[in-house]
Chain A
Amino acid sequence: MKILVHIKRVVDYQIRPRPTQDGKDVELTNVKMSINPFDENAVEGAVRLKEAGVATEVVVVAVGTAANQDVLRHALAMGADRAVLVETLTVVQPLAAAKYLKAVTEREAPQLVLTGKQAIDDDAAETAQMLSALLNWPQATFASKIDVVDGKALVVREIDGGQETLSLPLPAVVSVDLRLNEPRFIKLPALMMAKKKLIETLPAAEFGITAPALEIVNIAEPPARKAGKILNSVAELVAALRTEKVVS
């Protein structure tokens, strides 16, 4: 069984994002970028299925600028076999990403597509469901456990207040949550080996894809919280919390 994993390159989770001066975008110049953390869980999930003998090949795919080579290498170092980059000039929105991924998925013909439940830049949580719809495949979102049994994926997904289990005939699309696993730490030899693995680049223009997109009017920091107060004792803190009526 082949697994395709969709990953995205985003501003590192430890970095505080800021708007560009014109307020039309997020400042990405000289900002540390990393694999989207939830996508890292997806890569880990796929590699573990391969290590368990369930999957035979793990292919990672990114849709974005040439800079995505670094996150694809990261996934290869984690244990993915091959990488595909659909190279665009800018970061694309979820519907366009889903259309490119559909084309790559049809070409690769995997039995399972995995991806993070959302990217921590736009927080849209849309691409997996959109891809699943365009392929007319079953979907399971926010997965915390994936078992492949008798040609079906048994997926436990996080829902409000608990979990539910779905059974999906393959091929299927699954988006994963943090609880799925803890991604492995990459050691230097794995990183060196990943440098030798293949990244295939496909120019986005070759796909002839168009998609409606949202126009970004403005990106701004939300209103700042009012300045806080430094207290001197636990007694002062208790008094303040009682004044705020947040403790009895």
Chain B
Amino acid sequence: MSVLVIAELDSHGIKAATRSAVTAASQFGEEVHLLLAGNDVAGIATQASAINGLNKILLVDATEYAHGIAENLTPLLVQLAPSYSAIVAAATSFGKNLLPRAAALLDVAMVSEVIQIIDATTFVRPMYAGNLNATVKAPAGLRILTIRPTVFEAAAATGGSAVVETIAASGDAGQAAWVSRDLVQLDRPELATARVVISGGRSLGSAEGFKATLTPLADVLGAAIGATRAAVDAGMAPNDSQVGQTGTVVAPELYIAFGVSGAAQHVGGIKDSKVIVAVNHDADAPIFQVADYGLVADLFTVIPELTAALKG
């Protein structure tokens, strides 16, 4: 048997997250095939066949696959599934949208956001925003997984020589129709992928205070600005800046929390950060237990000092 990886495409071709899925798939020790479904994608097949670790590309080129609509891709997966021991995609918005739909039709208990493959049926996945890890065993037979792309190194984009086989399209399901797509041009890095994130809690006082206090430091650090749920609930920061279990889970190189107490739901969303810094005047705040560096001080003093020091 072989493992089937689902390719995800953007304007540059195959996304790096798909190459992470190839790495995860190769850990099964079987042949790895890539399903490349899209519109006008024959050129991308050459790029795909060069990915290291792939044995075969299944190429299907049709207008109904132009926008990654799950209802149109699912019939392909259902049709191909009997030839495979596992189907793998990255746990991106694309993979998370598509694979459960296929799993239900194939009557498979799927495994989402896998962070470790122990053996062909045993996987580790986070729960409670990473506050706990579950080791789970999938039933025998077809396994369907999404893998967290940040924990599997992307397979090299070159060095492979997979054969390309063209397969027939499955038609338009005539369900959800794609209308438009807006990719955001931010004047600041995006929270989920920023290299540096600074965030504030309710002690920043007001929406004006929140912005005025954090922006100068964010500018110096090239940082995204996040907020606690309490600060968002109090109207100090926009909804989409919420960091934590019910907001955005972040994993930057540097995370600095100002006036954040360290509620479980916030800590769950930041714990994969490389370096965590906490600044809080309350020495007993739980945030200090997860911080690599703590400063027991008033944030309104620390932020201008830190901004000045990093500028100089």
Cα–Cα distance between A160 and B101 once the two chains are bound (Å): 19
Q: Which residue from chain A places its CB closest to the CB of B248 in the assembled complex?
A: A178
Q: Which residue from chain B places its CB closest to the CB of A225 in the assembled complex?
A: B290
Cα–Cα distance between A8 and B288 once the two chains are bound (Å): 32
| B110 cross-chain contacts in A, Cβ below 8 A | 94-95, 126
Q: Which residue from chain B places its CB closest to the CB of A141 in the assembled complex?
A: B97
Q: In the complex the two chains form, is B103's CB within 8 Å of A95's CB?
A: yes
Q: In the complex the two chains form, is A214's CB within 8 Å of B133's CB?
A: no
Cα–Cα distance between A14 and B108 once the two chains are bound (Å): 33
Does A51 lie at the interface of the complex (its beta carbon under 8 Å from any beta carbon of B)? no
| B138 cross-chain contacts in A, Cβ below 8 A | 214
Query: Counting chain B CB atoms within 10 Å of each CB, which of A123, A141, A154, A233 scores highest?
Result: A123
Decide: A246 near B253, CB < 8 A? Known: A126-B103, A132-B101, A160-B92.
Answer: yes
Q: In the complex the two chains form, is B74's CB within 8 Å of A133's CB?
A: yes
Does A190 lie at the interface of the complex (its beta carbon under 8 Å from any beta carbon of B)? no
Q: Which residue from chain B places its CB closest to the CB of A217 in the assembled complex?
A: B135
Does A16 lie at the interface of the complex (its beta carbon under 8 Å from any beta carbon of B)? yes
Report A232 CB to chain B, min CB distance, Å: 8
Q: Which residue from chain A places its CB closest to the CB of B91 in the assembled complex?
A: A125
Does B109 lie at the interface of the complex (its beta carbon under 8 Å from any beta carbon of A)? yes
| B302 cross-chain contacts in A, Cβ below 8 A | 234
Q: In the complex the two chains form, is B271's CB within 8 Å of A225's CB?
A: yes
| B288 cross-chain contacts in A, Cβ below 8 A | 228, 230
Q: In the complex the two chains form, is B179's CB within 8 Å of A165's CB?
A: yes
Q: In the complex the two chains form, is A162's CB within 8 Å of B181's CB?
A: yes
Report A104 CB to chain B, min CB distance, Å: 16
Of A105-113, A199-207, A236-244, the one with at least 4 CB within 8 A of chain B: A236-244
Q: In the complex the two chains form, is A167's CB within 8 Å of B176's CB?
A: yes
Interface of chain A residues 99 through 142 with chain B (CB within 8 A): 120-134, 137-142
Does B79 lie at the interface of the complex (its beta carbon under 8 Å from any beta carbon of A)? no
| Interface size range on B against A | 35 or more
Interface of chain B residues 97 through 144 with chain A (CB within 8 A): 97-105, 107-113, 122, 126-139
| B190 cross-chain contacts in A, Cβ below 8 A | 161
Q: Which residue from chain A places its CB closest to the CB of B177 in the assembled complex?
A: A167
* Total residues of chain A contacting the partner, CB 8 A: 83
Decide: A241 near B254, CB < 8 A? Known: A133-B100, A221-B132.
Answer: yes
Q: In the complex the two chains form, is A221's CB within 8 Å of B133's CB?
A: yes
From B102, B128, B184, A161 is in contact (CB under 8 Å) with B184
Does A37 lie at the interface of the complex (its beta carbon under 8 Å from any beta carbon of B)? yes
Does A65 lie at the interface of the complex (its beta carbon under 8 Å from any beta carbon of B)? no
Decide: A167 near B179, CB < 8 A? Known: A122-B127, A218-B135, A229-B292.
Answer: yes
Q: In the complex the two chains form, is A124's CB within 8 Å of B275's CB?
A: no
Of B27-35, B53-61, B154-162, B237-245, the one with at least 4 CB within 8 A of chain A: B237-245
Decide: A13 near B295, CB < 8 A? Known: A141-B96, A162-B184, A212-B107.
Answer: no
Q: In the complex the two chains form, is A16's CB within 8 Å of B264's CB?
A: yes
From A13, A120, A139, A179, B101 is in contact (CB under 8 Å) with A139
Task: Produce 1/0 per residue, B244-267, CB < 8 A to A.
Answer: 011100000110000000011101
From B98, B122, B245, A217 is in contact (CB under 8 Å) with B122
Report A45 CB to chain B, min CB distance, Å: 14
Q: In the complex the two chains form, is B293's CB within 8 Å of A229's CB?
A: yes
Q: In the complex the two chains form, is A95's CB within 8 Å of B128's CB?
A: no
Task: Produce 1/0 per residue, B83-103, CB < 8 A to A.
Answer: 000000000111011111111
| A159 cross-chain contacts in B, Cβ below 8 A | 93-94, 181
Does A151 lie at the interface of the complex (its beta carbon under 8 Å from any beta carbon of B)? no
Q: In the complex the two chains form, is A140's CB within 8 Å of B306's CB?
A: no
Q: List 14 A-B contacts (CB under 8 A).
A: A13-B229, A17-B128, A120-B246, A126-B100, A134-B105, A138-B176, A157-B93, A160-B92, A161-B183, A164-B180, A166-B176, A168-B175, A229-B293, A238-B309
Task: Give me the 3 closest cross-chain CB pairs, A-B, nearest first.
Answer: A138-B175, A16-B264, A129-B100
Q: A120-B128, A244-B292 are in contact. List 20 more A-B contacts (CB 8 A).
A: A14-B264, A122-B134, A124-B112, A129-B100, A163-B182, A166-B179, A178-B240, A214-B139, A215-B139, A217-B122, A222-B130, A222-B131, A229-B292, A230-B288, A230-B295, A231-B295, A234-B306, A238-B310, A244-B275, A246-B253
Interface on B for A, CB 8 Å cutoff?
67, 69-71, 74, 92-94, 96-105, 107-113, 122, 126-139, 175-184, 190, 196, 221, 229, 239-240, 242, 245-247, 253-254, 263-265, 267, 271, 274-278, 288-296, 302, 305-306, 309-310
